[in-house]
Amino acid sequence: MLGKTAGGLYWMFRYLERSENTARLVEAGQRIALTRSSSAEDEWLSILQTAAVDVGYMEKYEEVTKEQAIDWMLRDKDNPSSVLSVVGAARDNARLVRTALTREVWESVNQCWMVLKEALARKVSERDLPEVLSLIRQRAAFVRGAMHGTMLRNDIYDFARIGTFIERADNTARILDTKYYVLLPSAFSVGSAVDNVQWESILRSVSAEGGFRMVYGQDVKPREIAQFLILDKRMPRSLAFCCDKIRDNLGYLVADYADRLPCHDMADQLGLNYMSHTVDEIFDHGLHEFIQDFLTATGSLGRQIEIDYRFTV
Amino acid sequence: MEQTQSQDGQSQSQRQTFDEMWGHTQDLRSPYARFHDWFQDEDPARLQKKQREAEEVFRLTGITFNVYGRAEAAERLIPFDIIPRIIAGREWSKLARGIEQRVRAINAFLYDIYHRQEIIRAGRLPAEMIAKNEAFLPQMIGVEPPGGVYTHIVGIDLVRTGDDDFFVLEDNARTPSGVSYMLENRETMLQMFPELFSKNRVQPVSNYPKMLRRSLAACAPPQCTGIPVVAVLTPGIYNSAYYEHSFLADKMGVELVEGHDLRVIDGRVAMRTTQGYKAIDVLYRRVDDEYLDPLNFNPDSALGIPGIMDVYRAGGITIANAPGTGIADDKAIYSYMPDIVEFYTGEKAILQNVPTHRCSDPKTLQYVLDNLKELVVKEVHGSGGYGMLIGPTSSKRELSEFRAKLQSRPANYIAQPTLALSTVPILTKAGLAPRHVDLRPFVLVSPNGIEITPGGLTRVALKKGSLVVNSSQGGGTKDTWVLEE
């Protein structure tokens, strides 16, 4: 396979994953805005930070408002991580790697782009927001479905999956990074209404409310949220789940190409360093430091994969 | 409005336009008999719906092209008309013989032009037609292309004016495009009208990618060991024909590469894979000569591979089509094609040329200027329907602008009579209506022989009365059927 093709697949699926994650973040933000009257602006700022699009936003706008934040995240072409931008980038990458995709996958990406370009052609009104957000997630799900159902399990699939899980790990870690303070054990905040809203928002932004309830019941506790999002291997957006998938898919490449490269050691190390602790140990070590280190490590791993598999010259 | 000069100099009017379904005289022609029966029983509303469905399929599949010269390089669909164009098997057999003869001659001509130039020594072609021609590539002199093949893929543009009258409008010997439309049009029709294919025995086209790969592999270079590695070279995803490049690579099961994926290593052209560099044997390039190698041609090209020409000359890679084939489809050379065919095959040309006036000659230029309103004038090196004048349908201002262009650079133009191009039915809101068409059959050349896919790409001028079929100028396409004999 061409190095360029491996890179195209990796980025195509990173971008698709990002479109879906951004839609989730906006949904969580909207939810908080609707259930809480004060300091909604702080909430949107934290959401912009989580999506790592706050710097660009502040260059364009003076203040943080809900309307502007939503517009920036969903459809602003100046924002390279807006849903419209990343869906366009995903499709461009799909065109680049068209020969590696089945017709079904290509058509689902192309349709995703056509439908969302239309849905995001104008500012999204508050009334239409839920429908548009669900459309974004639905379209990403169609691509994933087409991929699972029609693609060979070979190196093409591996690179697509690696891109998906690097992006997802990054996204979940960023949510934890911006919200870590509401998860810290504190005598004063236990069970306050404000915290409950924040905790639910965290779960909502990774579509984990239902899964969490199944495992832990109705009561939401910050320690358990951290446990669930960082270490629970059953939870498909947890850091541990993503780390396993990255390592698995890199492992298939080792078997396929009969060649072990530096990125494979890094992936093993990622699991050892971050996923072999208990949640209490993580809190003792410092949740914030833990997440920051994890983000740096996944970033380096992503860059090493690009080098080892010759994505670019 | 459509005037043409017939042999005896008399003018023919539009009512004598040949329609491929109804002939000159409104008698249903036999290739269309079964289609006609079927059509009569069809519900017009259902067909309109099918027409819209077809467009949806094309959009979803991403069969789009980018239009040059627009501020926004928007992707557009080439309109597709669902009414098939039908050609009888015996009509095709004769055409195919003519095409094969012409393509054979083109290859022999190219070999000769880049070697001993016998045709010039024999006085059948003026030396300045080559020496002063921008399409002639001195870098190719004395080069032996692998397998002796210059034009691995050729598209011959044909027009029809009567039952038995076909003319070659243009040869495409560089990088003919459109074959993906031929294949996708058929696929779409098979899905939408299976019953029509049960009623008619249509010669299949779907093995073209397989034939192409086999044909390319048969031209592997001397340094190739083992199974030839084939790749398609594209300028990238923003090129107007990118869809076709990816389509062909996909269907052939080969890599689609860009210049920056390639590098010359140890005397071979190699592509950067996830497991290191891997040598390519045959490169089906969809990049023009001038961008192919910044070391040998345009030094500013970012699309090409530095040094590929040196590898080529040393027998390390096959470039398809060979560099320098443009000299064979140059419009000034075109007018010599009947002589060229005769010179290299020893036979009279089976396919006719459209009579062509070379404006470089002062007397001819005067004739062209005097009769501009009756003529089609084309740029010698132009393509895609850009920069041409269709006298009968042009305004006074367009005519006078072109007159000035002709006078300032006469050698840059040729002129041809306006042919009464045949029409075929398309589906309009009011039912079937005749529109002008041309035909581009696709021809593959390898040391094993010449293969022609039955049919080809039919381009249709969707505007009533229009003679311009180019997709860049609002033309559409149709599925083209050659019936079994």
**DSSP assignments along A284-303, one per residue:** HH-HHHHHHHHHHHHHHHHH
Residue written as tokens 């998938």? A245
Confidence of residue B125 (pLDDT cuts 50, 70, 90): very high
Mode of pairing for the β-strands spanning B165-172 and B153-162: antiparallel
What confidence score (pLDDT) does residue B14 get?
Answer: 44
**Per DSSP, what are the bridge partners of residue B23?**
B19
pLDDT in tens, A276-310: 999 999 999 899 999 999 999 999 999 999 999 99
* Backbone phi, psi, residue B347, to 5°: -125, 160
Mean pLDDT value across chain B? 90
Q: Which of residues 257-276 of A touch B (CB under 8 A)?
A: 257, 259
pLDDT in tens, B394-421: 899 999 998 999 999 998 888 999 888 9
**A144-A147-A149 Cα angle (round to 5):** 110
Q: What residues of B are in contact with residue A309 (Cβ under 8 Å)? A: 274
Whole-number Å distance between alpha carbons of B405 and B413? 9
Interface contacts (A, B; CB < 8 Å): 57
Which residue in the set A2, A99, A103 is minimally distant from B272, CB to CB?
A2
Residue A268's Cβ-count burial label (10 Å; 0-12, 13-18, 19+) is middle
pLDDT in tens, B13-35: 444 799 999 999 889 999 999 99
SS3 B84: strand
> For residues B289 and B301, is the Cβ–Cβ distance under 8 A?
no
- Cβ contact, residue pair A310, B237, below 8 Å: no
Higher pLDDT, B468 or B451: B451
Q: What residues of B are in contact with residue A111 (Cβ under 8 Å)? A: 60
Task: Please compute, for residue B120, the number of CA atoms within 13 A of its CA located in the half-sphere on the CB side.
Answer: 15
CA dihedral A43, A47, A52, A58 (to 10 degrees): -50
Q: What residues of B are in contact with residue A114 (Cβ under 8 Å)? A: 59-60
Encoded tokens for A173: 């870690």
Q: What residues of A are in contact with residue B271 (Cβ under 8 Å)? A: 2
> For residues A257 and A197, is the Cβ–Cβ distance under 8 A?
no
Q: Which of residues 54-93 of B touch A (CB under 8 A)?
A: 59-62
| pTM recorded for the entire structure | 0.90
- Cβ contact, residue pair A95, B62, below 8 Å: yes
Mode of pairing for the β-strands spanning B165-172 and B255-257: unpaired
- Cβ contact, residue pair B256, A98, below 8 Å: yes
pLDDT in tens, A109-153: 999 999 999 999 999 999 999 999 999 999 999 999 999 999 999
Q: What residues of A are in contact with residue B275 (Cβ under 8 Å)? A: 257, 259
Higher pLDDT, B298 or B12: B298
Tell me the mean pLDDT in the region B265-281. 97
- Cβ contact, residue pair B60, A92, below 8 Å: no
Q: CB of A11 within 8 Å of any CB in chain B?
A: no
Whole-number Å distance between alpha carbons of A78 and A59? 11
| ipTM for this model | 0.87
- Cβ contact, residue pair B274, A6, below 8 Å: yes
Which residue in the set B62, B250, B257 is minimally distant from A2, CB to CB?
B257
**Per DSSP, what are the bridge partners of residue B427?**
B432
Q: Which of residues 247-286 of B touch A (CB under 8 A)?
A: 247, 249-250, 255-258, 260-261, 271-276
pLDDT in tens, B277-333: 999 999 999 999 999 999 888 888 778 899 999 999 999 999 999 999 999 998 889
Confidence of residue A200 (pLDDT cuts 50, 70, 90): confident
What confidence score (pLDDT) does residue B76 get?
Answer: 77
**Per DSSP, what are the bridge partners of residue B459?**
B438, B477
Whole-number Å distance between alpha carbons of A280 and A150? 42
For chain A, percent of residues with pLDDT exceeding 90: 79
Q: Which of residues 179-238 of B touch A (CB under 8 A)?
A: 237
pLDDT in tens, B182-236: 999 999 999 999 999 999 999 999 999 999 999 999 999 999 989 999 999 999 9
Residue written as tokens 């809190």? A283
Tell me the mean pLDDT in the region A157-172. 97
Higher pLDDT, B150 or B463: B150
Residue of B nearest to A307 (CA): B274
> For residues B28 and B417, is the Cβ–Cβ distance under 8 A?
no
pLDDT in tens, B354-376: 999 988 889 999 999 999 999 99
What confidence score (pLDDT) does residue B330 get?
Answer: 86
Q: What residues of B are in contact with residue A5 (Cβ under 8 Å)? A: 255
Residue written as tokens 């409008």? B169
Encoded tokens for B146: 């692998």
- Cβ contact, residue pair B237, A96, below 8 Å: yes
- Cβ contact, residue pair B250, A2, below 8 Å: no
